[in-house]
Amino acid sequence: MKNTAKLVVLGSINADHILNLNHFPAPGETVTGKDYQVAFGGKGANQAVAAGRSGADITFIACVGDDDTGSQVCQQLASDQIDISAISTIPESKTGVALIFVNRAGENVIGIHAGANAALTPALVNAQKDNISEASALLMQLESPLESVLAAAKIAHQHQTKVILNPAPACELPEELLSLLYMITPNETEAEKLTGVRVENDEDAAQASRILHAKGIEVVIITLGSRGVWLSDKGIGQRVPGFHVKAVDTIAAGDTFNGALVTALLEDKPMAEAIRFAHAGAAIAVTRKGAQPSVPWRHEIDDFLQLQGK
């Protein structure tokens, strides 16, 4: 039976090694950093944490290695209100790793070793068929094997579970996967990769959205950094601005946006209100360092919105 408020997130888990620098090293250059931190991350885990902390009833499908990091991260995820029973520990493998540089402007560049994330096979996805089919929504990203993302989308679609894809990191996607999506949330780079349209203004965002709608996707939300997002709901477009805060570190801002957005939609908030809620979550996240350490709890988002006069 369908649980109307249930969310399943499928995605990656990483240990993020984060180094803060004045500027990114050029090829051949060595730059001494100021601050080094190891924190839990991974786009899937960050979005799961954002959903859990903002109040969703969520199960997370993922893989960790049989190392200390894997068991520590699972404990942390459980304390973030996430059902971790669908996380598999992969023998003789290491939990995923992300090497991240953050510059003075709070921007980041990331290199990834997939580790155990690469072992999230279609067979493991099929073992979670009941969880996926009983949920109202399935939220995924692209740090897991594409064939597994497709397998999960097929199960969800067959059982009227809405499929939401945050297509990060950017890559070209098969038409079959796109046709199974209810909603997609690319940033400008990802939107260009998927549509060929360079997104520099609202008209470009509307054009890219039309291309994505033509592939069968009902809702397109293109994130535009400090300009907010372009929302195109069945072809009706509008820009929804975000909140202006002083960013210290944008790691996991997009992940927080996605996790909080889906949480709010599962609470039946209207789309514009859900986006505002998600903007608030992301605005708080960029004022803090790291991925999961920066993700706010529900009461922090509510307080932030109240301060903004909503």
Residues that bind ligand RIB (CB under 6 A): 12, 14, 16, 41-43, 46, 98, 110, 112, 143, 251-252, 255, 291
Residues 6+ apart with CB under 8 A from 237: 202, 205, 206, 209, 230, 231
* Smallest distance from ligand RIB to CB 299, Å: 23
CA pair distance 258, 281, nearest whole angstrom: 9
C-beta closer to ligand RIB: residue 171 or 307: 171
C-beta closer to ligand RIB: residue 14 or 59: 14
Q: CB burial class (10 A; 0-12, 13-18, 19+) of residue 19?
A: middle
The CA R_g of the chain, rounded to the nearest whole Å, is 18
Nearest-CB residue for ligand RIB: 41
C-beta closer to ligand RIB: residue 206 or 286: 286
* Smallest distance from ligand RIB to CB 112, Å: 6
* Smallest distance from ligand RIB to CB 46, Å: 5
* Smallest distance from ligand RIB to CB 97, Å: 8
| 3-class DSSP state of 203 | helix
Q: Is 255 a catalytic residue?
A: yes
- Residue among 202, 255, 302, 303 flagged as catalytic: 255
* Among candidate residues 221, 237, 218, 220, the one with its CA nearest the CA of residue 229: 221
One-character DSSP codes across 290-305: SSGGGPPPHHHHHHHH
C-beta closer to ligand RIB: residue 143 or 192: 143
Q: Which residues of 267-298 are buried (b: 16+ CB within 10 A; e: fewer)?
A: eebebebbbbbbbbbbbbbbbbbbbbbbbbbb
| Catalytic (active-site) positions | 255
